[in-house]
Amino acid sequence: MSLVLRAGEAATGPYALEVTPESAGWEHSGLRILVLAPGQSEQIETGDSEHMVLSLGGAAELTVDGESFTLLGRTGVFDGPSDVVYAPRDAHVSISSAAGGRFALASARCGNRLAPAYLPAGDVPVEMRGAGQASRQVNNFGVPGMLEADRLIACEVLTPGGNWSSYPPHKHDQERDGETRLEEIYYFEVADGPAGPGIGFQRVYGHADADIDISAEVRSGDAVLIPHGWHGPSMAAPGYDLYYLNVMAGPGEERAWLICDDPAHAWVRDTWADQAVDPRLPFGKEEHS
């Protein structure tokens, strides 16, 4: 599989995108984007992978091994966080949507079976990260210390048009002090402009122990797979707000997102102290445009 997946290239059945450990050529991380027509339902066996289910647009009813959950969802990814349902490995999941919608099923292979869980949207920590033109919003629904999981780590990043996120470039491809090895999926959606679909850009590059080189334009429905290497910036083109869902998992004993900045660019963080966060943030507030 290519590391850059254009919208529709990895579609199968009801899934607009399906990335499995096998298709990605790695061991842990997976993601499916489920599209349901009004009144449609889908049955899912989680197998050896735990899942987090969230709305990209629309509401749904879920059962996880017979336990019922209502996913209230949202109109779209720029309208504030979604609530989230956690489904453990070796579970049967049924998901249906009366009005139809699009739903992300982030997954990770794991060894331990936890209990199903529900996280309300109002409990999702919303972080303003960076400052100035590096300002972005992070919806930390699936990070350690928030939604309990065995291996899976997931969050959403929203970047106003003209800003850079995933910056300074960083990596997490080694198990060592201060860094964990995590395979990562970026799934993108880009706000439309008055003349049509928007665009963004993603950079990934290598180091002495990792050969990778991606400089890709991204549009809604695209995904980038990052097995290793420095990644960033994720660039929101002027005029087009950028959203991406990050899905991560790895082999380490500790479920942790520990990163190492590219030392050539780490100094940029020090410039944020005297800069304000972009006033267009957070997304979902009434005055945002």
Q: What is the pLDDT at residue 285? A: 63
pLDDT tens string 113-167 = 999 999 999 999 999 999 999 999 999 999 999 999 999 999 999 999 999 999 9
pLDDT in tens, 195-245: 999 999 999 999 998 999 999 999 999 999 999 999 999 999 999 999 999
pLDDT band at 287 (very low <50, low <70, confident <90, very high): very low
What pTM was computed for the model? 0.97
pLDDT at 288: 38
Phi, psi (rounded to 5 degrees) for 245? -100, 125
State yes or no: pLDDT of 273 exceeds 60: yes
Rounded CA-CA distance 75/36 in Å is: 14
pLDDT at 284: 85
- Given this model, what pLDDT does residue 1 score? 67
Contacts of 130 (CB under 8 A, 6+ apart): 136, 165, 167, 272, 277
Long-range Cβ pairs for the range 196-202 (8 Å, 24+): 198/161, 198/237, 198/239, 198/240, 198/241, 198/242, 199/237, 199/240, 200/159, 200/234, 200/235, 200/236, 200/237, 200/240, 200/242, 201/233, 201/234, 201/235, 201/237, 202/231, 202/234, 202/235
